[in-house]
Amino acid sequence: MNDIPDPEFLFDVSQTTLQDLQLASLDRSARHLKAAKANWNEAVREEAIALVAAYFFENRSQILERARLTLEAQAVLEFPRERKRA
């Protein structure tokens, strides 16, 4: 992390040095912001995974029961004659 330059230094250096300092600082800032955005996106993804896991933890049996009923209903619709014989 760079320290903020002393005002005395800023008064003593050339315009070119001030411009170089400005551009270098903007470049570092952009890189830090890019990394922060990537970290933020990863944190949001992980939060979403945690929420889905919590939902399944709390509702797993109901989800499995609905899935079983759906599969049975699909089987009846696809193979009505086979269901009657069984």
Output the pLDDT for position 18.
97
Cα(1)–Cα(6) distance, integer angstroms: 15
The two structure tokens encoding residue 54: 């919590």
Q: Which of 83, 59, 84, 56 shows the shortest CA–CA distance to 72?
A: 83
Cα(65)–Cα(73) distance, integer angstroms: 12
The model's pTM is 0.58
Output the pLDDT for position 22.
97
Q: pLDDT in tens for each of the 86 residues of the chain?
A: 789 999 999 999 999 999 999 999 999 999 999 999 999 999 999 999 999 999 999 999 999 999 888 888 777 777 766 655 55
Output b/e per residue, 11-43; b: 16+ Cβ within 10 A: eeeeeeeeeeeeeeeeeeeeeeeeeeeeeeeee
Output the pLDDT for position 74.
77
Output the pLDDT for position 82.
62
